Amino acid sequence: MKTIKLTYTVVAFLITFSPLKATNPDWGATGHRTIGKIAEDYLKGRTKRKIAEILDGQSLSLVATFGDDIKSDKRYNQFYTWHYVNMPFGVKYEDSNKNPEGDLVFGIEKCKTIIKDKNATKEDKAFYLKMLIHLIGDLHQPMHVGRAEDKGGNTIQVQWFNDGTNLHRVWDSNMINHFNMTYTELATNSDKISKEQVKYLQKGTIADWANETQKLAIKTYASVKIGEKLGYKYMYDNFGLVRSQLQVGGIRLAKVLNELFS
Protein backbone atom coordinates (compact mmCIF):
# COMPACT_ATOMS: atom_id res chain seq x y z
CA MET A 1 0.00 0.00 0.00
CA LYS A 2 1.48 3.38 -1.01
CA THR A 3 0.35 5.09 2.14
CA ILE A 4 2.65 3.14 4.41
CA LYS A 5 6.23 3.62 2.29
CA LEU A 6 -12.92 33.10 9.75
CA THR A 7 -10.01 35.24 9.97
CA TYR A 8 -10.10 38.79 11.20
CA THR A 9 -10.50 39.83 7.56
CA VAL A 10 -13.34 37.36 7.16
CA VAL A 11 -15.13 38.55 10.30
CA ALA A 12 -14.97 42.11 9.00
CA PHE A 13 -16.34 40.95 5.65
CA LEU A 14 -19.19 39.03 7.17
CA ILE A 15 -20.39 42.04 9.09
CA THR A 16 -19.95 45.07 6.34
CA PHE A 17 3.65 24.55 13.59
CA SER A 18 5.63 22.62 14.24
CA PRO A 19 3.76 20.77 16.98
CA LEU A 20 5.44 18.21 19.19
CA LYS A 21 4.95 14.71 17.87
CA ALA A 22 1.93 12.90 19.25
CA THR A 23 1.09 15.76 21.61
CA ASN A 24 -1.72 18.20 20.98
CA PRO A 25 -4.43 17.09 18.60
CA ASP A 26 -5.04 19.60 15.84
CA TRP A 27 -8.23 21.60 16.54
CA GLY A 28 -9.13 18.71 18.83
CA ALA A 29 -11.66 16.08 17.81
CA THR A 30 -14.59 18.45 18.26
CA GLY A 31 -13.08 21.13 16.06
CA HIS A 32 -12.19 18.78 13.22
CA ARG A 33 -15.59 17.13 13.30
CA THR A 34 -17.27 20.54 13.26
CA ILE A 35 -15.37 21.43 10.08
CA GLY A 36 -16.40 18.13 8.48
CA LYS A 37 -20.04 18.63 9.45
CA ILE A 38 -20.11 22.18 8.08
CA ALA A 39 -18.52 21.04 4.81
CA GLU A 40 -21.23 18.45 4.25
CA ASP A 41 -23.82 21.21 3.87
CA TYR A 42 -21.91 22.68 0.91
CA LEU A 43 -21.18 19.50 -1.04
CA LYS A 44 -22.72 18.85 -4.43
CA GLY A 45 -24.72 15.67 -5.00
CA ARG A 46 -22.06 14.07 -7.19
CA THR A 47 -19.38 14.88 -4.61
CA LYS A 48 -21.41 13.24 -1.85
CA ARG A 49 -21.88 10.09 -3.94
CA LYS A 50 -18.17 9.80 -4.81
CA ILE A 51 -17.10 10.34 -1.21
CA ALA A 52 -19.61 7.76 0.03
CA GLU A 53 -18.22 5.30 -2.51
CA ILE A 54 -14.61 5.85 -1.46
CA LEU A 55 -15.27 5.94 2.29
CA ASP A 56 -17.91 3.18 2.29
CA GLY A 57 -20.54 5.57 3.59
CA GLN A 58 -18.50 7.07 6.42
CA SER A 59 -19.20 10.75 7.08
CA LEU A 60 -16.68 13.58 6.89
CA SER A 61 -17.16 14.14 10.63
CA LEU A 62 -16.27 10.53 11.41
CA VAL A 63 -13.03 10.50 9.44
CA ALA A 64 -12.00 14.10 10.22
CA THR A 65 -9.73 13.01 13.10
CA PHE A 66 -7.94 10.36 11.03
CA GLY A 67 -4.77 12.42 10.65
CA ASP A 68 -4.38 12.50 14.44
CA ASP A 69 -5.56 8.94 15.00
CA ILE A 70 -2.60 7.51 13.07
CA LYS A 71 0.06 9.53 14.93
CA SER A 72 0.66 6.76 17.44
CA ASP A 73 1.54 4.33 14.62
CA LYS A 74 5.22 4.65 13.65
CA ARG A 75 4.43 3.42 10.15
CA TYR A 76 2.96 6.85 9.47
CA ASN A 77 5.81 8.99 10.82
CA GLN A 78 6.39 10.43 7.36
CA PHE A 79 3.14 12.38 7.67
CA TYR A 80 4.02 14.30 10.87
CA THR A 81 5.34 17.32 9.03
CA TRP A 82 2.18 17.56 6.92
CA HIS A 83 0.22 18.97 9.86
CA TYR A 84 1.91 22.37 9.91
CA VAL A 85 3.87 24.88 7.89
CA ASN A 86 6.45 27.33 9.20
CA MET A 87 7.66 30.40 7.37
CA PRO A 88 9.11 33.64 8.76
CA PHE A 89 6.38 36.09 9.70
CA GLY A 90 5.74 38.46 6.84
CA VAL A 91 7.07 35.99 4.25
CA LYS A 92 4.52 34.37 1.95
CA TYR A 93 4.48 30.61 1.52
CA GLU A 94 5.53 30.82 -2.11
CA ASP A 95 8.62 32.83 -1.13
CA SER A 96 9.63 30.74 1.90
CA ASN A 97 12.12 27.91 2.25
CA LYS A 98 10.21 24.64 2.14
CA ASN A 99 10.60 21.75 4.57
CA PRO A 100 12.28 18.94 2.57
CA GLU A 101 10.11 16.43 4.45
CA GLY A 102 6.94 18.19 3.31
CA ASP A 103 4.57 20.59 5.02
CA LEU A 104 0.87 21.36 5.34
CA VAL A 105 0.49 22.94 1.90
CA PHE A 106 2.55 20.18 0.26
CA GLY A 107 0.51 17.52 2.06
CA ILE A 108 -2.82 18.92 0.89
CA GLU A 109 -1.64 19.12 -2.71
CA LYS A 110 -0.23 15.58 -2.53
CA CYS A 111 -3.56 14.28 -1.25
CA LYS A 112 -5.39 15.97 -4.10
CA THR A 113 -3.02 14.47 -6.66
CA ILE A 114 -3.54 10.90 -5.44
CA ILE A 115 -7.31 11.27 -5.12
CA LYS A 116 -7.45 12.43 -8.76
CA ASP A 117 -5.09 9.67 -9.98
CA LYS A 118 -7.12 7.18 -12.04
CA ASN A 119 -4.53 4.50 -11.30
CA ALA A 120 -4.66 4.92 -7.51
CA THR A 121 -6.33 2.11 -5.59
CA LYS A 122 -9.53 2.68 -3.64
CA GLU A 123 -7.52 2.02 -0.48
CA ASP A 124 -5.08 4.79 -1.31
CA LYS A 125 -7.86 7.19 -2.32
CA ALA A 126 -9.59 6.56 1.00
CA PHE A 127 -6.40 7.13 3.00
CA TYR A 128 -5.54 10.40 1.28
CA LEU A 129 -9.13 11.63 1.30
CA LYS A 130 -9.23 11.19 5.08
CA MET A 131 -5.90 12.98 5.35
CA LEU A 132 -7.13 15.80 3.12
CA ILE A 133 -10.22 16.35 5.25
CA HIS A 134 -8.03 16.57 8.34
CA LEU A 135 -5.34 18.80 6.83
CA ILE A 136 -7.76 21.39 5.49
CA GLY A 137 -8.88 21.72 9.10
CA ASP A 138 -5.31 22.15 10.31
CA LEU A 139 -4.75 24.86 7.70
CA HIS A 140 -7.26 27.10 9.47
CA GLN A 141 -5.85 26.74 13.00
CA PRO A 142 -3.50 29.73 13.47
CA MET A 143 -0.90 27.80 15.46
CA HIS A 144 -0.43 25.37 12.58
CA VAL A 145 1.09 28.24 10.63
CA GLY A 146 3.09 29.38 13.66
CA ARG A 147 6.78 29.75 14.43
CA ALA A 148 9.25 26.89 14.18
CA GLU A 149 11.24 27.99 17.23
CA ASP A 150 8.36 27.43 19.66
CA LYS A 151 6.81 24.50 17.80
CA GLY A 152 3.66 26.37 16.84
CA GLY A 153 3.08 27.66 20.36
CA ASN A 154 3.57 24.26 22.01
CA THR A 155 6.44 25.55 24.16
CA ILE A 156 4.67 28.80 25.16
CA GLN A 157 3.39 27.86 28.60
CA VAL A 158 0.27 29.60 29.91
CA GLN A 159 -2.58 28.82 32.27
CA TRP A 160 -6.13 28.12 31.19
CA PHE A 161 -8.13 29.19 34.23
CA ASN A 162 -6.18 27.22 36.88
CA ASP A 163 -4.69 24.50 34.71
CA GLY A 164 -1.29 24.53 33.04
CA THR A 165 -1.38 24.36 29.24
CA ASN A 166 0.26 26.00 26.23
CA LEU A 167 -0.80 28.44 23.55
CA HIS A 168 -1.19 25.73 20.93
CA ARG A 169 -3.52 23.70 23.11
CA VAL A 170 -5.58 26.76 24.03
CA TRP A 171 -6.45 27.17 20.36
CA ASP A 172 -6.72 23.45 19.58
CA SER A 173 -9.09 22.46 22.31
CA ASN A 174 -9.20 24.51 25.55
CA MET A 175 -11.50 27.22 24.22
CA ILE A 176 -13.67 24.75 22.28
CA ASN A 177 -14.01 22.44 25.27
CA HIS A 178 -14.82 25.34 27.59
CA PHE A 179 -17.63 26.45 25.26
CA ASN A 180 -19.09 22.97 25.83
CA MET A 181 -20.99 22.41 22.58
CA THR A 182 -20.90 19.21 20.56
CA TYR A 183 -19.59 19.34 17.01
CA THR A 184 -23.13 19.10 15.66
CA GLU A 185 -24.23 22.02 17.85
CA LEU A 186 -21.26 24.12 16.75
CA ALA A 187 -21.96 23.36 13.08
CA THR A 188 -25.68 24.02 13.40
CA ASN A 189 -25.02 27.33 15.11
CA SER A 190 -22.55 28.62 12.53
CA ASP A 191 -23.18 32.16 11.32
CA LYS A 192 -25.76 32.44 8.55
CA ILE A 193 -24.08 33.75 5.42
CA SER A 194 -25.10 34.39 1.82
CA LYS A 195 -24.03 32.57 -1.33
CA GLU A 196 -21.98 35.62 -2.25
CA GLN A 197 -20.14 35.42 1.05
CA VAL A 198 -19.47 31.71 0.54
CA LYS A 199 -17.96 32.45 -2.88
CA TYR A 200 -15.80 35.16 -1.33
CA LEU A 201 -14.50 32.79 1.33
CA GLN A 202 -13.72 30.10 -1.24
CA LYS A 203 -11.49 32.34 -3.35
CA GLY A 204 -7.77 31.70 -3.51
CA THR A 205 -5.35 28.79 -3.48
CA ILE A 206 -4.14 26.55 -0.66
CA ALA A 207 -1.04 28.75 -0.40
CA ASP A 208 -3.22 31.87 -0.22
CA TRP A 209 -5.14 30.34 2.68
CA ALA A 210 -1.86 29.50 4.47
CA ASN A 211 -0.72 33.11 4.08
CA GLU A 212 -4.05 34.29 5.46
CA THR A 213 -3.78 31.99 8.49
CA GLN A 214 -0.24 33.22 9.15
CA LYS A 215 -1.63 36.74 9.65
CA LEU A 216 -3.91 35.31 12.32
CA ALA A 217 -0.97 33.49 13.93
CA ILE A 218 0.92 36.77 14.30
CA LYS A 219 -2.02 38.28 16.17
CA THR A 220 -2.46 35.12 18.24
CA TYR A 221 1.14 35.25 19.46
CA ALA A 222 0.67 38.89 20.40
CA SER A 223 -2.45 38.04 22.43
CA VAL A 224 -0.58 36.36 25.32
CA LYS A 225 2.46 36.60 27.55
CA ILE A 226 4.41 33.57 28.73
CA GLY A 227 2.94 32.29 31.98
CA GLU A 228 -0.18 34.42 31.67
CA LYS A 229 -3.40 33.17 33.24
CA LEU A 230 -6.09 33.05 30.56
CA GLY A 231 -9.79 32.72 31.20
CA TYR A 232 -13.12 34.41 30.54
CA LYS A 233 -11.64 37.58 29.03
CA TYR A 234 -9.44 35.63 26.60
CA MET A 235 -12.40 33.46 25.68
CA TYR A 236 -14.56 36.54 25.10
CA ASP A 237 -11.92 38.19 22.92
CA ASN A 238 -10.96 35.15 20.83
CA PHE A 239 -13.63 32.47 20.63
CA GLY A 240 -15.45 34.33 17.88
CA LEU A 241 -12.38 33.85 15.72
CA VAL A 242 -12.27 30.14 16.58
CA ARG A 243 -15.87 29.73 15.46
CA SER A 244 -15.19 31.75 12.32
CA GLN A 245 -12.16 29.64 11.39
CA LEU A 246 -14.10 26.41 11.89
CA GLN A 247 -16.80 27.72 9.56
CA VAL A 248 -14.34 28.99 6.95
CA GLY A 249 -12.46 25.68 7.13
CA GLY A 250 -15.65 23.75 6.44
CA ILE A 251 -16.70 25.98 3.57
CA ARG A 252 -13.27 25.72 1.96
CA LEU A 253 -13.07 21.96 2.51
CA ALA A 254 -16.32 21.67 0.55
CA LYS A 255 -14.83 23.74 -2.27
CA VAL A 256 -11.77 21.48 -2.52
CA LEU A 257 -13.89 18.32 -2.49
CA ASN A 258 -16.36 19.66 -5.05
CA GLU A 259 -13.48 20.51 -7.37
CA LEU A 260 -11.91 17.08 -6.94
CA PHE A 261 -15.09 15.22 -7.80
CA SER A 262 -16.63 17.59 -10.34
The model's confidence at residue 262, banded by pLDDT at 50, 70 and 90, is confident
For the cut 80, the answer to whether the pLDDT of residue 139 exceeds it is: yes
The model's confidence at residue 12, banded by pLDDT at 50, 70 and 90, is very low
For the cut 70, the answer to whether the pLDDT of residue 21 exceeds it is: no
> How far apart are alpha carbons 27 and 168 in whole angstroms?
9
What is the model's pLDDT at position 232?
98
What is the model's pLDDT at position 220?
97
Closest CA to 194 of 33, 45, 15, 12: 15
The model's confidence at residue 26, banded by pLDDT at 50, 70 and 90, is low
What class does CATH assign to 8-260?
Answer: mainly alpha
For residues 248-259, average pLDDT = 98
What is the model's pLDDT at position 13?
39
> How far apart are alpha carbons 209 and 193 in whole angstroms?
19
For residues 153-182, average pLDDT = 97
What is the model's pLDDT at position 2?
42
Q: What is the pLDDT of residues 57-90, one digit of tens each?
A: 999 999 999 999 999 999 999 999 999 999 999 9
Q: Which residues contact 183 (CB under 8 A, 6 or more apart)?
A: 29, 30, 31, 33, 34, 36, 37, 61
For the cut 50, the answer to whether the pLDDT of residue 53 exceeds it is: yes
